[in-house]
Amino acid sequence: MKTLETLVNNTFSGDPVRFRPCAFFDERLDCIRVIARDCSVVEERVNDRVTVLIDSYFPQPGRKRYVGFTIKGATHFCKQHGWDTVRSIGMAEFLDALLASSPEIVVQWFIDIVAKPLVQEEKIEQVELPHGIPQAS
């Protein structure tokens, strides 16, 4: 029988994984997540599809306020745009499609002020998709 100490040591042994900015499909929650910094966040809804992630401890010198965003309904969004799941989606293509499908002024603001600068500064070039999203017909 393993002790709690053994389980904890086994879990946390090895090299720590360093965070890197990323964009990925969260299959369980059916959303696309873009995360630029590993920190505590507050989520603020922009509209029914877009949520922006805000650093909980802003303002601090040299830190950006916006640290990521989430796009809900990712499966439908990908099918709607005919994206095939054997390749990743370029971030520019993804943001252009988001604006085309949600042309409200608040989404335009979000893309111009939050999303584009964030992905450019953090060099997030693509969204990785799982192979489980059915192809659009």
pLDDT in tens, 92-125: 999 999 999 888 999 999 999 999 999 999 999 9
- DSSP class of residue 121 equals H
Cβ-based burial of 126 (10 A; exposed 0-12, middle 13-18, buried ≥19): middle
pLDDT of residue 8: 67
Q: Cα–Cα distance between 126 and 89 in angstroms, integer? A: 5
pLDDT of residue 116: 95
pLDDT of residue 2: 60
- DSSP class of residue 98 equals H
Coarse DSSP helix, strand, coil percentages of the chain, rounded to the nearest 5 percent:
30, 25, 45
Q: Tokens 């999203």 appear where?
A: 133
pLDDT of residue 14: 67
- Long-range interactions of 56-61: CB distance < 8 A, separation 24+: none
pLDDT in tens, the chain (137 residues): 566 677 667 666 766 678 899 999 888 899 999 999 999 999 999 999 999 999 998 777 777 899 999 999 988 888 888 886 667 889 999 999 999 988 899 999 999 999 999 999 999 999 887 665 555 44
Angle at 19 (CA atoms; ends 70, 9), nearest 5 degrees: 120
pLDDT of residue 107: 93
pLDDT of residue 137: 47
Q: Can you give the length of the chain in residues?
A: 137
